[in-house]
Amino acid sequence: MKNFYGDSKMKIVFYILALVISAVLIFQITSKNQSKKPIDWSSEESISTHIEIRQDTEYGELTYGPNFALSDEKLSKNFSDIYLMRVVDLNGADHYTVFISAYYKDKDWRSYKTAVNAQGNKNLPISVLSKNNISCSEEVCLYEEKLAIPLSFLYFFDGSVSGLGITIKGKRSDQIIIPASYFKAMLNSIPEE
């Protein structure tokens, strides 16, 4: 059996799936979650009330948590969206992904191209879904980089115990620490079989 991350065909399928799902859902997720009560990020129960589950005839069952970029002022200055998503495709296979939209003002692209798991200092696969130069002034530009980091079930499950620290690197490094409570809420949203 080939490794999921080593099989180039699977990488292409993942990339297409991630791009289409993120493009379709980000607007819906953002507008819907803005109307709910504030989230206590240390509370699994509070996060659970913001988890959405949808059935999609083309992609299967989609489960996504709330926008973690809103949890911290420093994060929200550099990222417009950080979502944990679980997809059960039409063949019944589970896929876990962290979607990130880096949205920032700078003199140049940050060009994120690597992701490192802080717990084990191991590289995680990362896909750049899109890069957009939104606008520029004389000094700085507004940039957006959409990224997807697929997670194995082991990383997803371990996240419910210790959270997940990810450092994304390019011309600049940024650390994102998603708490265990977020992963526990997502795990509890999985229907029992």
CA distance 15 to 9: 10
In a domain, 30, yes or no: yes
| pLDDT tens by residue, 156-170 | 999 999 999 999 999
- Domain count of the fold of the chain: 1
pLDDT (tens digit per residue) in 91-139: 999 999 999 999 999 999 999 999 999 876 789 999 999 999 999 998 8
Residue 134 counted as domain residue: yes
- Name the pLDDT band for 4 (thresholds 50, 70, 90): very low
Q: How far apart are CA 69 and CA 161, in angstroms?
A: 21
In a domain, 2, yes or no: no
The reply to whether 111 falls in a domain is yes
| Residues of the domain holding 171 | 8-188
Structural domain includes residue 3? no
1 is a domain residue: no
**Average pLDDT, whole number, for the chain?**
85
